[in-house]
Structure 1
Amino acid sequence: MARSGGAVGSDHRRVVLAAMIGTTIEWYDFFIYAICAGQVFATQYFAALGKDALLLSFATIGISFFFRPIGAVVAGHLGDRIGRRAMLILTLLLMGASTVLMGVVPNTAAIGVAAPILLVLLRIVQGLSAGGEWGGAALLAVEHAPPGRRGLYGAFPQIGVPIGLLLANGVLALVAALTTPAQFLDWGWRVPFLLSVVLIAVGMLIRTRVAESPVFEEVREAKAASSLPLVPLFRHHWRLVLLGALLFAANNAVGYMTTGGYVQSYAVRSLHLDRSTVLLAVMVSAVAWLASTLLGGWLADRIGRIRVYQLGFVAQLLWMFPFFALIDTGNVALLVLALVLFAVGLGFTYGPQAALYAEMYPTRVRYSGAAISYAIGAVLGGAFAPTIAEALQSGTGTVYAVGGYLAVMTVIGLVASFFVRDRPGRPLGDVPAGTGG
């Protein structure tokens, strides 16, 4: 395996597959909780806690985000010291175990207030895992890639998110179609959580066969790995951490309209659309998101990472209010159209992310920098996006208030993009990085 040029042939394909499969499994696990938060947990676990059960249920999605930075710090520290591969295996096991346990937690009717408490504790473990997963998967793919194709190879762990969304909605839609509404609420929703056992086994089989990043191996052999990566990261690169977080926050807030379950919950509860139909509509949009994410990564190798980001943010902004107008018609075909076009801007602001983050930081702090930027951006953007959306829509009586909130987040990301230096051709050896100027 060439150190500077990246893996080739079957080795390279295995690296990309490991990054994509692992991320897919992590986000399948993460999303089935988010989707069930609006459709199941509000009534089965949080209804006994008061009239704001739906808000409380959505809030548990956000609580896990506050533990993502902790997961990012721990995984980043270890990933920059002992390697990317070991962290990918650990985070996959943590996410899988917590998801399977969620599938067997009794509801409030059976064990009282202990039920939502156990659910929240397991959601926290998911947050810790998600905080460390992405950085390792993204860096493994990008650090193995040839310099001229980092954008495309970095897009493969990114498409694990729409694939995870596709799987989560698909399995839930299948279970919903095969059960009555009462059966789905009673036991059907547990099936996707328990199926995670199979996915984790597949992911572990693939990830344990992947070689360590060649760039990290060079640092380790030179004994240049930082003993405490957070110190040089925040001393020399805190502006990059902030800018990276703002870029992702703008993408994450918008993405969590579907990945956080808000659109599904609104369509079923307020527009009275069939649950299986709505889940299928989101699956179609996940395919569009996958395609636009790959396209965004491919374009990033040709016109630059930041230019693709900016195109994506403009697309998000232009489509924001038409998106909610089409959803509010209650027409299934228009719902699908709204979600598919919504996915274009989302993919363009997600596809280039892995390559951009990898090129922003020196090798010795790269895992920490990428993971922490990602985790902070998730807190600022996605943590309470479904909760905020639900509160805005309930308080104002219109989904256009939600559109206004997402438009503001998009503008913040667009502005931040002008302060990040694009370095698509920089070597990934241990050299300084910085913002524009």
Structure 2
Amino acid sequence: MNPRTHQPVADTPPSSDQPPARAESISPVAPAEPTQLRRVALSSLLGTVIEYYDFILYGTMAALVFGELFFPSSSSAVSTIAAFGTLAAGYVARPLGGVLFGHFGDRLGRKSMLVVTMVAMGVASFLIGVLPTYDRIGVAAPILLVGLRLLQGIAVGGEWGGAALMVVEHADATRRGRWAGIMQLGSPLGFLLSTVAVMLVSLLPDAAFLSWGWRIPFLLSGLLLVIGLYVRMNVVESPIFQQAHDASSEPESASVPVLRLLRHPGPLVLACAAGIGPFALTALTSSHILSYAQGAGYETSQVMRALLFTVTVSLVCIPLFSALSDRVGRRTVGVTGAVGAVLFAFPLYALVNTGSVVLMTLGLMVAQVLQNLMYAPLAPMLAEMFGTGVRYTGVSLGYQFASLIGAGFTPLVASSLLAGSGGSSVPLSAIVVLSAAVTIIALWRIAETRGRDLSSVI
């Protein structure tokens, strides 16, 4: 199969043990009523805000305090690397969550799985907030922390794909990018909320912050969970899934979506590769930049303020670029960002290394625009690459493997390369170039997906 001309992949081709009707298109599903679509978009937005607030909060605390509190060592660099190792553990668990929730989401429905992912994430984050540190319970502390981080990763692994599908499968084919852009605001809004929470508690005296102040943002997850669940329980199931589920035969509905995907893995590989560039850039400019900038002479508060300015860029750019992909195509928007990332990789760290807060902030803001160009078209594009019967699994696995490869180990690798190169930023720029190049190749190989009939392949 030529991946540049593939149709939505999905399910295996009809075989002798499958009813012939499985190969036929089914009637297109009418888009949801505007009121219901707005409710679905709000539900998906709140869900992703909560998920990313919790997930990103962990990354921030890993850079600031977890090394000292849970992985004490005579070397601060070793403690930081160990803390980033637990950050990577969460990314490792994300594909597992994609398989687990994708399996049941493709067989039982999107809505019920999204309720489960939200509860799992909220509970894990709340428990981190009350977890005793190493000086209290010894080695049990980092073990429990890793366990809760794994639960966070599993929950996030099922959240994004389901939230994206609820919006995309409810929306009109010509406006999927526009509505998906609203859902994808959950990432910058979650980052914004977590950054504000950390900034506020970091105003405490150092002793108070290390003792109990760092726990407050995690405990707030309980309140966010209640609000999110209230909204999420009041949306209806995806009409495209419902139609496909009602039309499916018992043998098909009893099959395993991930195995059907693996029989023809090309689109899954391309979906993963397309997301590596934006995730690697995010890992470097949100998590790793905290420790890198401190080593370059910046105060933590200066870096946090720069990140606040940076995230406001995404509040405008993500919905704008996602909607733009409805007009010019998913690939055009994504390739533009990836090429820009290659060109800006070395200037980015040159600006950070000046020691000027203004120039550092400018560099991070430009990098964020480029990241948003790569990231914004992902939700509609990935949804349009897979058939309904495997869409939840395909979107989740493609997205989560991209996050694992692009971001899961990037802070850890970056910290190690930085230490081995004597503090040179050249290896960091090289990571940006290589990851963006992977995205360019993947997008070049993917046929344009804009406007595909999502109900044509089940």
TM-score range, shorter chain: over 0.9
Counterpart among 317, 326, 344 of residue 319 in structure 1: 344
Matched, 1:232 2:257: no
Count of aligned residue pairs for this structure pair: 427
Whether the aligned pair in 1 keeps the contact of 2:85 and 2:412 (CA below 8 Å) is yes
Matched, 1:301 2:329: no
Counterpart among 148, 169, 188 of residue 162 in structure 1: 188
Counterpart amino acid of residue 64 in structure 1: G
SS at match of 2:67: helix
**In structure 2, what is the equivalent of residue 337 of structure 1?**
362
Counterpart among 272, 279, 286 of residue 252 in structure 1: 279
Question: For residues 296-330 of structure 1, what are the alpha-carbon distances to aligned partners after superposition, in whole Å with 9 as ceiling and x for unaligned?
Answer: 10110010001111011012112111111111122
CA shift for structure 1 position 113: 1.0
**In structure 1, what is the equivalent of residue 213 of structure 2?**
188
Question: For residues 310-357 of structure 1, what are the alpha-carbon distances to aligned partners after superposition, in whole Å with 9 as ceiling and x for unaligned?
Answer: 011012112111111111122111121111111111111111111001
SS at match of 1:258: helix
Counterpart among 108, 131, 145 of residue 82 in structure 1: 108
CA shift for structure 1 position 277: 2.6
SS at match of 2:354: coil
**In structure 2, what is the equivalent of residue 242 of structure 1?**
269
**In structure 1, what is the equivalent of residue 8 of structure 2?**
none
SS at match of 1:336: helix
Question: For residues 44-81 of structure 1, what are the alpha-carbon distances to aligned partners after superposition, in whole Å with 9 as ceiling and x for unaligned?
Answer: 11124976111111111111211111111110100001
CA shift for structure 1 position 128: 0.6
**In structure 1, what is the equivalent of residue 399 of structure 2?**
374
Taking structure 1 as the reference length, the TM-score comes to 0.95
Question: For residues 378-411 of structure 1, what are the alpha-carbon distances to aligned partners after superposition, in whole Å with 9 as ceiling and x for unaligned?
Answer: 1211111111111111111211211112211111
Counterpart among 15, 18, 30 of residue 5 in structure 1: 30
Work out the CA distance in 1 between the residues paired with 2:197 and 2:353: 26
CA shift for structure 1 position 197: 0.7
Counterpart amino acid of residue 235 in structure 1: R
Whether the aligned pair in 1 keeps the contact of 2:280 and 2:431 (CA below 8 Å) is no
**In structure 2, what is the equivalent of residue 104 of structure 1?**
130
Question: For residues 1-42 of structure 1, what are the alpha-carbon distances to aligned partners after superposition, in whole Å with 9 as ceiling and x for unaligned?
Answer: x98332223211110011111001000000111001010001
Taking structure 2 as the reference length, the TM-score comes to 0.90
Matched, 1:22 2:51: no
Question: For residues 253-308 of structure 1, what are the alpha-carbon distances to aligned partners after superposition, in whole Å with 9 as ceiling and x for unaligned?
Answer: 1111234x21012223x134232232121111111023221121011001000111
Larger Rg, first or second structure (1 or 2): 2
Work out the CA distance in 2 between the residues paired with 1:54 and 1:428: 45
Runs of at least 5 residues in structure 1 that lack an aligned partner in the other structure: 433-437
Matched, 1:136 2:154: no
Work out the CA distance in 2 between the residues paired with 1:417 and 1:111: 49
Counterpart among 393, 414, 419 of residue 440 in structure 2: 414
Matched, 1:222 2:250: no
Counterpart amino acid of residue 165 in structure 2: L
CA shift for structure 1 position 195: 0.5
**In structure 2, what is the equivalent of residue 435 of structure 1?**
none
SS at match of 1:417: helix
Work out the CA distance in 2 between the residues paired with 1:330 and 1:102: 35
Work out the CA distance in 1 between the residues paired with 2:226 and 2:28: 30
Counterpart amino acid of residue 303 in structure 1: V
- Residues 254-293 of structure 1 correspond to what in structure 2 (within 5 A)? 254-259=281-286, 261-268=287-294, 270-293=295-318
Counterpart amino acid of residue 262 in structure 2: F
Runs of at least 5 residues in structure 2 that lack an aligned partner in the other structure: 1-26
Work out the CA distance in 2 between the residues paired with 1:115 and 1:50: 19
Matched, 1:350 2:350: no
Work out the CA distance in 1 between the residues paired with 2:272 and 2:201: 36
Matched, 1:200 2:225: yes
Work out the CA distance in 2 between the residues paired with 1:93 and 1:155: 24
SS at match of 1:363: coil
Matched, 1:384 2:412: no
Question: For residues 360-381 of structure 1, what are the alpha-carbon distances to aligned partners after superposition, in whole Å with 9 as ceiling and x for unaligned?
Answer: 0011110011011111111211
Counterpart among 113, 118, 125 of residue 92 in structure 1: 118
**In structure 1, what is the equivalent of residue 172 of structure 2?**
146
CA shift for structure 1 position 212: 0.6
**In structure 1, what is the equivalent of residue 9 of structure 2?**
none
- Residues 419-430 of structure 1 correspond to what in structure 2 (within 5 A)? 419-430=445-456
SS at match of 2:389: helix
Whether the aligned pair in 1 keeps the contact of 2:28 and 2:455 (CA below 8 Å) is no
Work out the CA distance in 2 between the residues paired with 1:166 and 1:400: 29
After superposing the two structures, state which structure 1 stretch, 14-23 or 151-160, moved more: 151-160
**In structure 1, what is the equivalent of residue 428 of structure 2?**
402
Matched, 1:56 2:82: yes
Work out the CA distance in 2 between the residues paired with 1:201 and 1:240: 37
After superposing the two structures, state which structure 1 stretch, 60-69 or 45-54, moved more: 45-54
Counterpart amino acid of residue 279 in structure 2: N
Identify if the C-alpha distance between structure 1 residues 185 and 272 changes in structure 2 by more than 3 Å, giving closer, same or farther: farther
Work out the CA distance in 2 between the residues paired with 1:229 and 1:49: 48
Equivalent pairs: percent with the same residue? 37
Whether the aligned pair in 2 keeps the contact of 1:92 and 1:133 (CA below 8 Å) is yes
SS at match of 1:300: helix
After superposing the two structures, state which structure 1 stretch, 35-44 or 312-321, moved more: 312-321
